[in-house]
Copies of this chain bind each other. A is one copy, B any other.
Amino acid sequence: MENSAGIVKPQYVTFRDDFSFESGRVISSVTCCYETYGKLSEDKSNAVLVCHALTGSAHAAGFHRADEQKPGWWDSMIGPGKTFDTNKYFVICSNFLGSCFGTTGPSSVDPSTGKRYGIRFPVASVKDMVKLQKRLIDHLGIEKLLAVAGGSMGGMQVLEWGATYPDMMKTLIPIATTHAITPMAIAFNSIARFSITKDPRWNKGDYYEGEFPVDGLAIARMAGHITYLSDPAFNDKFGRRYSAFEGFYDFNGFFEVENYLRYNGYKFTEVFDANTYLYVLKAMDIFDLSYGRGSLSDAVELIKADTLLISVSSDFLFPPYLTEEIYDIMKYQGKKAFWYNIQSNYGHDAFLLEFEELDRLIREFFADRGL
Protein backbone atom coordinates (compact mmCIF):
# COMPACT_ATOMS: atom_id res chain seq x y z
CA MET A 1 0.00 0.00 0.00
CA GLU A 2 2.98 2.27 -0.38
CA ASN A 3 1.97 5.44 -2.23
CA SER A 4 -1.63 4.36 -1.89
CA ALA A 5 -4.46 6.48 -0.61
CA GLY A 6 -5.01 3.44 1.61
CA ILE A 7 -8.31 2.14 2.90
CA VAL A 8 -11.07 4.59 2.09
CA LYS A 9 -14.74 4.65 2.89
CA PRO A 10 -17.54 6.03 0.74
CA GLN A 11 -19.36 8.86 2.49
CA TYR A 12 -22.93 9.95 1.98
CA VAL A 13 -24.82 13.20 2.32
CA THR A 14 -28.53 13.54 1.72
CA PHE A 15 -29.97 16.90 0.70
CA ARG A 16 -33.59 16.89 1.80
CA ASP A 17 -34.75 19.94 -0.08
CA ASP A 18 -36.10 19.93 -3.62
CA PHE A 19 -33.62 19.31 -6.39
CA SER A 20 -34.63 20.92 -9.69
CA PHE A 21 -33.27 19.36 -12.84
CA GLU A 22 -32.32 21.34 -15.92
CA SER A 23 -35.43 19.87 -17.55
CA GLY A 24 -37.64 21.52 -14.94
CA ARG A 25 -38.47 18.30 -13.16
CA VAL A 26 -38.03 18.16 -9.40
CA ILE A 27 -37.31 15.42 -6.88
CA SER A 28 -37.64 15.96 -3.17
CA SER A 29 -34.40 14.48 -1.89
CA VAL A 30 -31.01 13.58 -3.32
CA THR A 31 -28.24 11.53 -1.79
CA CYS A 32 -24.68 12.10 -2.94
CA CYS A 33 -22.02 9.45 -2.46
CA TYR A 34 -18.41 10.67 -2.36
CA GLU A 35 -14.92 9.79 -1.28
CA THR A 36 -12.07 11.98 -0.12
CA TYR A 37 -8.32 11.41 -0.03
CA GLY A 38 -5.83 13.47 1.95
CA LYS A 39 -6.69 16.07 4.56
CA LEU A 40 -8.64 19.27 4.15
CA SER A 41 -6.48 22.15 5.39
CA GLU A 42 -7.83 24.35 8.15
CA ASP A 43 -8.57 27.20 5.77
CA LYS A 44 -10.08 24.67 3.35
CA SER A 45 -7.89 25.93 0.54
CA ASN A 46 -6.32 22.68 -0.70
CA ALA A 47 -9.27 20.87 -2.30
CA VAL A 48 -9.22 19.28 -5.74
CA LEU A 49 -12.38 17.87 -7.32
CA VAL A 50 -12.00 14.88 -9.60
CA CYS A 51 -14.93 13.98 -11.87
CA HIS A 52 -15.50 10.41 -13.00
CA ALA A 53 -16.45 9.15 -16.44
CA LEU A 54 -19.47 7.27 -17.84
CA THR A 55 -19.39 4.10 -15.78
CA GLY A 56 -17.06 5.19 -13.01
CA SER A 57 -17.86 5.95 -9.41
CA ALA A 58 -16.75 8.00 -6.45
CA HIS A 59 -14.11 5.35 -5.79
CA ALA A 60 -11.21 7.12 -7.50
CA ALA A 61 -8.32 5.92 -5.35
CA GLY A 62 -7.29 3.54 -2.59
CA PHE A 63 -9.11 0.41 -1.54
CA HIS A 64 -12.42 -0.23 0.16
CA ARG A 65 -11.05 -3.32 1.88
CA ALA A 66 -7.53 -4.57 2.42
CA ASP A 67 -8.29 -7.60 0.24
CA GLU A 68 -9.83 -5.61 -2.63
CA GLN A 69 -8.23 -6.63 -5.92
CA LYS A 70 -8.46 -3.37 -7.78
CA PRO A 71 -7.98 0.13 -6.39
CA GLY A 72 -10.07 3.15 -7.44
CA TRP A 73 -10.22 4.12 -11.11
CA TRP A 74 -7.57 6.89 -10.98
CA ASP A 75 -5.42 5.37 -8.24
CA SER A 76 -2.26 5.91 -10.28
CA MET A 77 -2.96 9.63 -10.16
CA ILE A 78 -4.19 10.10 -6.58
CA GLY A 79 -2.16 9.23 -3.48
CA PRO A 80 0.82 10.29 -1.40
CA GLY A 81 3.47 11.67 -3.74
CA LYS A 82 1.34 11.09 -6.83
CA THR A 83 0.08 13.67 -9.33
CA PHE A 84 -2.79 14.62 -7.08
CA ASP A 85 -0.58 14.36 -4.01
CA THR A 86 -2.68 13.54 -0.96
CA ASN A 87 0.11 14.84 1.28
CA LYS A 88 -0.71 18.27 -0.12
CA TYR A 89 -4.22 18.16 -1.53
CA PHE A 90 -7.62 17.14 -0.29
CA VAL A 91 -9.02 15.22 -3.25
CA ILE A 92 -12.77 14.74 -3.60
CA CYS A 93 -14.59 12.49 -6.03
CA SER A 94 -18.36 12.22 -5.98
CA ASN A 95 -20.55 9.73 -7.76
CA PHE A 96 -22.52 11.77 -10.24
CA LEU A 97 -26.25 12.30 -10.21
CA GLY A 98 -28.13 9.52 -12.02
CA SER A 99 -25.49 6.88 -11.40
CA CYS A 100 -25.94 3.55 -9.61
CA PHE A 101 -23.05 3.65 -7.18
CA GLY A 102 -24.58 5.42 -4.23
CA THR A 103 -25.83 8.74 -5.58
CA THR A 104 -29.53 8.98 -6.39
CA GLY A 105 -30.42 7.67 -9.84
CA PRO A 106 -32.88 5.54 -11.77
CA SER A 107 -32.03 2.43 -9.75
CA SER A 108 -32.77 4.24 -6.46
CA VAL A 109 -36.05 3.89 -4.62
CA ASP A 110 -38.46 6.74 -5.20
CA PRO A 111 -39.51 7.70 -1.66
CA SER A 112 -42.91 8.79 -2.92
CA THR A 113 -43.78 5.33 -4.27
CA GLY A 114 -41.45 2.99 -2.41
CA LYS A 115 -40.44 1.56 -5.80
CA ARG A 116 -37.36 2.00 -7.96
CA TYR A 117 -37.51 5.05 -10.20
CA GLY A 118 -36.65 3.17 -13.39
CA ILE A 119 -37.25 5.42 -16.38
CA ARG A 120 -39.51 7.65 -14.32
CA PHE A 121 -36.31 9.26 -13.05
CA PRO A 122 -35.73 12.69 -14.63
CA VAL A 123 -33.07 12.95 -17.33
CA ALA A 124 -29.98 14.07 -15.40
CA SER A 125 -27.78 16.30 -17.52
CA VAL A 126 -24.11 17.10 -16.99
CA LYS A 127 -25.31 20.47 -15.68
CA ASP A 128 -27.45 18.66 -13.12
CA MET A 129 -24.50 16.51 -12.08
CA VAL A 130 -22.37 19.60 -11.57
CA LYS A 131 -25.15 21.27 -9.62
CA LEU A 132 -25.19 18.38 -7.16
CA GLN A 133 -21.39 18.41 -6.93
CA LYS A 134 -21.60 22.12 -6.10
CA ARG A 135 -23.99 21.32 -3.26
CA LEU A 136 -21.44 18.82 -1.96
CA ILE A 137 -18.59 21.34 -2.15
CA ASP A 138 -20.75 23.91 -0.31
CA HIS A 139 -21.64 21.25 2.25
CA LEU A 140 -17.93 20.64 2.85
CA GLY A 141 -17.50 24.37 3.39
CA ILE A 142 -15.06 24.81 0.52
CA GLU A 143 -15.17 28.20 -1.16
CA LYS A 144 -12.63 27.69 -3.88
CA LEU A 145 -11.18 24.54 -5.43
CA LEU A 146 -7.56 24.36 -6.55
CA ALA A 147 -8.59 22.31 -9.55
CA VAL A 148 -11.46 20.47 -11.18
CA ALA A 149 -10.12 17.59 -13.24
CA GLY A 150 -11.51 14.64 -15.14
CA GLY A 151 -11.50 12.68 -18.39
CA SER A 152 -14.16 11.83 -20.95
CA MET A 153 -17.59 12.55 -19.43
CA GLY A 154 -15.64 13.67 -16.36
CA GLY A 155 -14.07 16.30 -18.59
CA MET A 156 -17.52 17.51 -19.65
CA GLN A 157 -18.26 18.13 -15.99
CA VAL A 158 -14.97 20.02 -15.71
CA LEU A 159 -15.96 22.34 -18.56
CA GLU A 160 -19.46 22.80 -17.15
CA TRP A 161 -17.98 23.65 -13.74
CA GLY A 162 -15.77 26.28 -15.35
CA ALA A 163 -18.67 27.96 -17.16
CA THR A 164 -21.30 27.68 -14.42
CA TYR A 165 -19.19 28.50 -11.37
CA PRO A 166 -16.23 30.42 -12.82
CA ASP A 167 -15.09 31.80 -9.45
CA MET A 168 -15.11 28.44 -7.72
CA MET A 169 -11.76 27.11 -8.95
CA LYS A 170 -8.24 28.18 -9.79
CA THR A 171 -7.69 25.67 -12.56
CA LEU A 172 -9.53 23.30 -14.87
CA ILE A 173 -8.09 20.10 -16.33
CA PRO A 174 -10.46 18.63 -18.94
CA ILE A 175 -8.96 15.49 -20.51
CA ALA A 176 -10.01 13.56 -23.63
CA THR A 177 -13.29 15.38 -23.73
CA THR A 178 -15.38 17.86 -25.67
CA HIS A 179 -17.98 20.59 -25.37
CA ALA A 180 -20.40 18.33 -27.29
CA ILE A 181 -19.91 14.81 -28.59
CA THR A 182 -19.91 14.06 -32.31
CA PRO A 183 -22.81 12.43 -34.16
CA MET A 184 -20.56 9.40 -34.57
CA ALA A 185 -20.30 9.08 -30.80
CA ILE A 186 -24.07 9.47 -30.55
CA ALA A 187 -24.38 6.69 -33.12
CA PHE A 188 -22.41 4.35 -30.86
CA ASN A 189 -24.62 5.32 -27.96
CA SER A 190 -27.64 4.54 -30.14
CA ILE A 191 -26.44 0.99 -30.60
CA ALA A 192 -26.21 0.68 -26.84
CA ARG A 193 -29.64 2.22 -26.33
CA PHE A 194 -31.30 -0.09 -28.82
CA SER A 195 -29.53 -3.15 -27.42
CA ILE A 196 -30.85 -2.48 -23.93
CA THR A 197 -34.34 -1.31 -24.76
CA LYS A 198 -34.96 -4.10 -27.28
CA ASP A 199 -33.97 -6.77 -24.78
CA PRO A 200 -37.43 -8.09 -23.82
CA ARG A 201 -36.28 -8.40 -20.21
CA TRP A 202 -35.74 -4.66 -20.05
CA ASN A 203 -39.51 -4.36 -19.69
CA LYS A 204 -39.60 -0.58 -20.10
CA GLY A 205 -37.14 -0.24 -17.26
CA ASP A 206 -39.14 -2.20 -14.69
CA TYR A 207 -36.94 -5.25 -14.41
CA TYR A 208 -35.81 -4.86 -10.81
CA GLU A 209 -38.25 -7.45 -9.53
CA GLY A 210 -37.64 -9.80 -12.44
CA GLU A 211 -34.94 -10.76 -14.87
CA PHE A 212 -32.21 -8.27 -15.66
CA PRO A 213 -31.62 -7.34 -19.35
CA VAL A 214 -28.18 -8.94 -19.26
CA ASP A 215 -27.74 -9.46 -23.00
CA GLY A 216 -28.83 -5.97 -23.94
CA LEU A 217 -26.50 -4.34 -21.43
CA ALA A 218 -23.62 -6.63 -22.37
CA ILE A 219 -23.94 -5.72 -26.07
CA ALA A 220 -24.23 -2.04 -25.15
CA ARG A 221 -20.99 -2.31 -23.22
CA MET A 222 -19.30 -4.16 -26.08
CA ALA A 223 -20.14 -1.27 -28.39
CA GLY A 224 -18.65 1.07 -25.79
CA HIS A 225 -15.45 -0.93 -25.60
CA ILE A 226 -14.87 -0.47 -29.32
CA THR A 227 -14.86 3.28 -28.85
CA TYR A 228 -12.47 3.23 -25.90
CA LEU A 229 -9.76 1.63 -28.03
CA SER A 230 -8.32 2.54 -31.41
CA ASP A 231 -7.35 0.76 -34.58
CA PRO A 232 -3.69 0.44 -33.48
CA ALA A 233 -4.75 -0.57 -29.96
CA PHE A 234 -6.90 -3.36 -31.41
CA ASN A 235 -4.00 -4.49 -33.59
CA ASP A 236 -1.54 -4.49 -30.69
CA LYS A 237 -3.89 -6.09 -28.19
CA PHE A 238 -5.54 -8.81 -30.27
CA GLY A 239 -4.36 -8.93 -33.85
CA ARG A 240 -6.32 -11.62 -35.68
CA ARG A 241 -5.62 -14.29 -33.06
CA TYR A 242 -8.31 -16.89 -32.96
CA SER A 243 -9.60 -18.50 -29.76
CA ALA A 244 -10.60 -21.55 -31.69
CA PHE A 245 -12.63 -23.52 -29.24
CA GLU A 246 -14.30 -25.31 -32.08
CA GLY A 247 -12.42 -24.32 -35.18
CA PHE A 248 -11.99 -21.65 -37.78
CA TYR A 249 -14.90 -22.72 -39.97
CA ASP A 250 -17.14 -23.38 -37.04
CA PHE A 251 -20.18 -21.19 -36.96
CA ASN A 252 -19.50 -20.45 -33.29
CA GLY A 253 -15.74 -19.95 -33.54
CA PHE A 254 -14.40 -16.75 -31.98
CA PHE A 255 -11.53 -14.38 -32.52
CA GLU A 256 -9.80 -13.24 -29.35
CA VAL A 257 -11.12 -9.74 -29.77
CA GLU A 258 -14.65 -11.12 -29.65
CA ASN A 259 -13.84 -13.11 -26.54
CA TYR A 260 -12.54 -9.95 -24.92
CA LEU A 261 -15.69 -8.01 -25.78
CA ARG A 262 -17.95 -10.80 -24.60
CA TYR A 263 -16.09 -11.28 -21.34
CA ASN A 264 -16.03 -7.60 -20.51
CA GLY A 265 -19.56 -7.02 -21.74
CA TYR A 266 -21.06 -9.65 -19.47
CA LYS A 267 -18.78 -8.87 -16.54
CA PHE A 268 -20.06 -5.31 -16.68
CA THR A 269 -23.63 -6.52 -16.15
CA GLU A 270 -22.62 -7.84 -12.71
CA VAL A 271 -21.86 -4.35 -11.44
CA PHE A 272 -23.82 -1.87 -13.53
CA ASP A 273 -27.51 -1.12 -13.87
CA ALA A 274 -29.10 -1.10 -17.33
CA ASN A 275 -31.37 1.90 -16.80
CA THR A 276 -28.46 3.83 -15.37
CA TYR A 277 -26.50 3.10 -18.51
CA LEU A 278 -29.32 4.58 -20.59
CA TYR A 279 -29.35 7.69 -18.41
CA VAL A 280 -25.64 8.34 -18.49
CA LEU A 281 -25.55 7.87 -22.27
CA LYS A 282 -28.36 10.36 -22.54
CA ALA A 283 -26.46 12.86 -20.40
CA MET A 284 -23.42 12.41 -22.60
CA ASP A 285 -25.44 12.83 -25.81
CA ILE A 286 -27.26 15.99 -24.83
CA PHE A 287 -24.33 17.76 -23.18
CA ASP A 288 -23.50 20.92 -25.07
CA LEU A 289 -21.52 23.57 -23.23
CA SER A 290 -23.04 26.26 -25.43
CA TYR A 291 -26.62 25.22 -24.68
CA GLY A 292 -28.56 28.17 -23.31
CA ARG A 293 -25.45 30.36 -23.49
CA GLY A 294 -25.47 31.56 -27.08
CA SER A 295 -22.47 30.33 -29.01
CA LEU A 296 -19.64 28.09 -27.89
CA SER A 297 -17.48 31.21 -27.69
CA ASP A 298 -20.03 32.79 -25.37
CA ALA A 299 -19.93 29.70 -23.17
CA VAL A 300 -16.14 29.50 -23.11
CA GLU A 301 -15.97 33.23 -22.40
CA LEU A 302 -17.53 32.53 -18.98
CA ILE A 303 -14.54 30.46 -17.88
CA LYS A 304 -12.05 32.29 -15.68
CA ALA A 305 -9.80 29.49 -14.47
CA ASP A 306 -6.45 28.66 -16.06
CA THR A 307 -7.11 25.62 -18.20
CA LEU A 308 -4.98 22.65 -19.15
CA LEU A 309 -6.63 20.87 -22.06
CA ILE A 310 -5.37 17.36 -22.82
CA SER A 311 -6.39 15.20 -25.78
CA VAL A 312 -5.18 11.86 -27.15
CA SER A 313 -3.90 11.50 -30.70
CA SER A 314 -5.65 8.17 -31.41
CA ASP A 315 -8.93 8.98 -29.62
CA PHE A 316 -11.68 8.60 -32.22
CA LEU A 317 -14.53 8.96 -29.73
CA PHE A 318 -13.37 12.40 -28.62
CA PRO A 319 -11.01 13.33 -31.46
CA PRO A 320 -8.29 15.91 -30.70
CA TYR A 321 -9.84 18.45 -33.07
CA LEU A 322 -12.65 18.89 -30.53
CA THR A 323 -10.15 19.93 -27.87
CA GLU A 324 -8.41 22.15 -30.39
CA GLU A 325 -11.69 23.97 -31.00
CA ILE A 326 -11.98 24.95 -27.35
CA TYR A 327 -8.29 25.80 -27.16
CA ASP A 328 -8.49 28.09 -30.18
CA ILE A 329 -11.42 29.96 -28.69
CA MET A 330 -9.68 30.32 -25.33
CA LYS A 331 -6.50 31.61 -26.94
CA TYR A 332 -8.48 34.04 -29.09
CA GLN A 333 -10.17 35.31 -25.93
CA GLY A 334 -6.78 35.78 -24.29
CA LYS A 335 -7.35 33.14 -21.63
CA LYS A 336 -4.56 31.21 -19.92
CA ALA A 337 -5.16 27.99 -21.79
CA PHE A 338 -2.74 25.20 -22.62
CA TRP A 339 -3.35 22.28 -24.91
CA TYR A 340 -1.38 19.10 -25.09
CA ASN A 341 -2.19 16.24 -27.49
CA ILE A 342 -0.74 13.06 -25.99
CA GLN A 343 0.78 10.85 -28.68
CA SER A 344 -0.62 7.46 -27.78
CA ASN A 345 -2.04 4.40 -29.51
CA TYR A 346 -4.37 3.61 -26.61
CA GLY A 347 -7.28 5.60 -27.99
CA HIS A 348 -9.82 7.18 -25.66
CA ASP A 349 -8.75 4.89 -22.81
CA ALA A 350 -5.40 6.70 -22.69
CA PHE A 351 -6.76 9.02 -19.99
CA LEU A 352 -6.82 5.94 -17.75
CA LEU A 353 -3.49 4.60 -18.97
CA GLU A 354 -0.98 7.27 -19.98
CA PHE A 355 -0.11 8.18 -16.40
CA GLU A 356 3.44 9.28 -17.01
CA GLU A 357 2.40 11.86 -19.55
CA LEU A 358 -0.56 13.03 -17.50
CA ASP A 359 1.61 13.24 -14.40
CA ARG A 360 4.25 15.29 -16.16
CA LEU A 361 1.75 17.70 -17.70
CA ILE A 362 -0.33 18.26 -14.59
CA ARG A 363 2.66 18.59 -12.23
CA GLU A 364 4.18 21.23 -14.46
CA PHE A 365 0.86 23.05 -14.79
CA PHE A 366 0.42 23.05 -11.00
CA ALA A 367 4.04 24.03 -10.33
CA ASP A 368 3.81 27.01 -12.69
CA ARG A 369 0.87 28.23 -10.62
CA GLY A 370 2.45 27.55 -7.24
CA LEU A 371 -0.16 24.91 -6.44
Contact = CB atoms under 8 A, between A and B. Distances in A.
Interface residues of A, number: 60
A265 B2 CA distance: 52
Interface in A6-25: 21-25
A183 B218 contact: no
Contacts of A319: 231
A257 B186 CA distance: 7
A231 B184 contact: yes
A251 B119 contact: yes
A114 to B, nearest CB: 22
A194 B222 contact: yes
A229 interface: yes
B191 A226 contact: yes
A272 interface: no
B200 A258 contact: no
A200 B214 CA distance: 13
- For the complex, would chain A's binding face be called helix, strand, loop or mixed by DSSP majority? helix
B215 A194 contact: yes
A182 interface: yes
Interface stretch (A28-36, A38-46, A169-177, A236-244): A236-244
Given A249-B22, A250-B123, A288-B240, A194 B182 contact: no
A235 B182 contact: yes
Contact of A183 (B24, B123, B193, B234): B234
B198 A257 contact: no
Nearest to A225: B187
Interface string A282-296: 100110100000000
Interface in A157-184: 180, 182-184
Interface of A: 21-25, 119, 122-123, 125, 180, 182-184, 186-188, 190-191, 193-195, 198-200, 215-216, 218-219, 222-223, 225-226, 229-231, 234-235, 237-240, 248-251, 253, 255-258, 261-262, 265, 278, 282, 285-286, 288, 316, 319
